[in-house]
Amino acid sequence: MRKIMGIAFAFLLLLVSNADYMSTASAKQTQNVEIPVLLYHVVKPDPDPNNPYQFSLEEFEKHMAYLHENGYRTLTMKQYFNILDKKAAMPEKPILLTFDDNSNDFYPYVYPVLQKYGMKATQFTVSDWVNGSWNMTSNEILTVMENGIDIQNHSVSHPFLADLSREQQYEEINDTTTALKELTGRATNVFAYPYGNYNADTISVLEELGFKGAFKVGGGLSTDQSDRYELPRIMILQNHTLDDFIRMVKTGY
């Protein structure tokens, strides 16, 4: 009798354990995905007060310190898409840091701050600007790439893509893919629209070339329901205070 009761009790425990497991697995599958994606341009000690896209290095470090102290986890681009696609569980406070235009402030100013706080980021790179007078060198790009920075596609020449023919847009995107592959040895599969400007042809080209997605400007937080070719980004401008930053990270606006 005791043996039968023992077997029954063990079976009951197994049922409860399986129920808990199924509940947890289901929760992961139905988890509401929300990821802030930040967009910076130039970050340096002495930003031009008349250029809203240039941001203070001192204020930038305050941003990174806030994220670090409040438990945010920076993502690689691969991790970001895996979370959106429900292929990976979402950490409690995920965030994606992106920088556009491979400007020459990134290596001496931004990169050391990211390293200090152990943060990952993505640099959207304009291929014709590599080694330019106000841009990163090839060696700098290779160095940051080997230390937690994704290098992704931001076109050949940073044009208003919607003003171009489909063939011209194809060249702008595909030629950068080729150039960055030659430089880094890695294929790019994510795009950022220069000026946030694009049209149906742009999306068609990206789909044809097998890109996983593309980022626009604005639009709030990323969710698993976000259109993969119109992914939102929160642009950080010079006039934004730390309080603005904290609000935007939480709400997307």
Residues 176 and 107 in one domain: yes
Q: What is the pLDDT along the chain (253 residues), one digit of tens a residue?
A: 444 444 444 443 433 344 443 333 333 444 699 999 999 999 999 999 999 999 999 999 999 999 999 999 999 999 999 999 999 999 999 999 999 999 999 999 999 999 999 999 999 999 999 999 999 999 999 999 999 999 999 999 999 999 999 999 999 999 999 999 999 999 999 999 999 999 999 999 999 999 999 999 999 999 999 999 999 999 999 999 999 999 999 999 9
Are 222 and 147 in the same domain? yes
Residues 6+ apart with CB under 8 A from 83: 33, 35, 75, 89, 90, 94, 224
Do residue 16 and residue 109 come from a single domain?
Answer: no
**Do 39 and 89 have their domain in common?**
yes
The pLDDT of residue 56 is 98
Asked if residues 140 and 151 have their Cβ atoms less than 8 Å apart, the reply is: no
H-helix or E-strand spanning residue 86: none
CATH number at residue 238: 3.20.20.370
SS3 of 4, please?
helix
Q: 74 and 17, same structural domain?
A: no
39 shares a domain with 115: yes
- Contact status, residue 126 vs residue 101, Cβ threshold 8 Å: yes
Where helices occur in the chain by DSSP H, the ranges are: 2-30, 57-69, 77-84, 111-116, 138-145, 166-184, 200-208, 242-251
Annotate 167-224 with DSSP letters as a single string: HHHHHHHHHHHHHHHHHHSS---EEE-GGG---HHHHHHHHHTT--EEE-SB-S-B-T
DSSP 8-state code for residue 106? I
**Residue 19's pLDDT is what?**
40
The token duo for 218 is 């604005």
Say how many domains are in the chain: 2
Residues 207 and 162 occupy one common structural domain: yes
Q: Is residue 89 packed enough to be buried (19+ CB in 10 Å), middle (13-18) or exposed (0-12)?
A: exposed
Q: What is the pLDDT of residue 59?
A: 98
Same domain, 109 and 49: yes
- My answer on whether 9 and 21 are in the same domain is yes
Task: Provide the angle, in degrees to the nearest 10, between the axes of the packed helices 242-251 and 57-69.
Answer: 50
Do 15 and 87 lie in one domain? The reply is no
| Per-residue confidence (pLDDT) for residue 22, from 0 to 100 | 37
Residues 45 and 149 in one domain: yes
Six-digit token string for 180: 């960055």
Q: Answer yes or no: do 149 and 75 share one domain.
A: yes
- Are the C-beta atoms of residues 37 and 249 closer than 8 Å to each other? no
The number of residues making up the chain comes to: 253
For residue 116, give its domain range.
33-251
Contact 183, 66 (CB under 8 A): no
